[in-house]
Amino acid sequence: MSGHGTATERGFVLSGREWAVVGGASALMALNVLVMYAFVATPLALVNDYLFAYPIVGVLVYGAAIAGGELLAERGVERGGTGLALAGVAILQVAFGTFGAGVLSFVPRDARLPILAITAVVVTAMVAAIGTYVYARSKQFDHYRSWANYAFLGGVLAVLVGTFLAPVLLLGFLLIFLGFLFRLGWEIWRIRDGRVATAALQAIGLYVAVAGVFVHVLQIVIRTVARR
């Protein structure tokens, strides 16, 4: 437990360290949205078409890129290696940016910015809701990490089945989305209790969770708008 006390003891006032984490993650996420918007006008927007010709391939490739990028970024921060940290962040930006661009490529050019704006508002509201829930309860949320891992594993297995039985793909989408939501709750809990040594490490973890939620909400928003 952090020497600064729990969120319940401090109320909902964030410390300077917590603001640094939120600011760092927000900057990385804002940059990633710009990357998505830029990539959609490049051949990278077509990558999803090839990878998700067999959905399990797309999930495994993006999963490996995200896990590998985060690992490199964290190792760089821990060892003071700026180059390694930047390389990891770059991989994350390219992975989420390429995936997001592929999703955006189905949207008319003049609708892309509004779609991104709507997605950003929805995701911000979700982060605020989960953050309020975590900060309002004086309990541990370490089990959220296990729940996230189970959801991710279940999602991958569902996508594997869905590669050959298409209706199951929706279950895979929902489970992976749920995994990122639990990961987000876990990251917020770690920020609340100061369980990571540096603000930079926490910012990277929070950014990955938010980016994962963002690309899933983006798909939902696009489908919702398309039906109107």
Residue 3 lies in a domain: no
Residue 64 lies in a domain: yes
Residue 2 lies in a domain: no
Q: Which residue has the higher pLDDT, 90 or 77?
A: 90
Residue 141 lies in a domain: yes
Residue 5 lies in a domain: no
pLDDT tens-digit map of 9-21: 445 667 788 889 9
Residue 7 lies in a domain: no
pLDDT tens-digit map of 170-212: 999 999 999 999 999 999 999 988 777 688 889 999 999 999 9
Q: Is the pLDDT of residue 52 over 60?
A: yes
DSSP class per residue in 90-112: HHHHHHHHHHHHHHHTTS-HHHH
Q: Is the pLDDT of residue 168 over 80?
A: yes
Structure letter (DSSP) for residue 195: -
How far is residue 71 CA from its own chain's centroid?
A: 15
Other beta carbons within 10 Å of 99:
27
For residue 153, what are the domain limits? Answer: 14-226
Q: Is the pLDDT of residue 1 over 60?
A: no
Q: What pLDDT is attached to residue 2? A: 43
| Total domains present in the chain | 1
Residue 197 lies in a domain: yes
Residue 9 lies in a domain: no
Nearest CA among 196, 219, 227, 17 for reference residue 116: 219
Which residue shows structure tokens 């003071």? 80
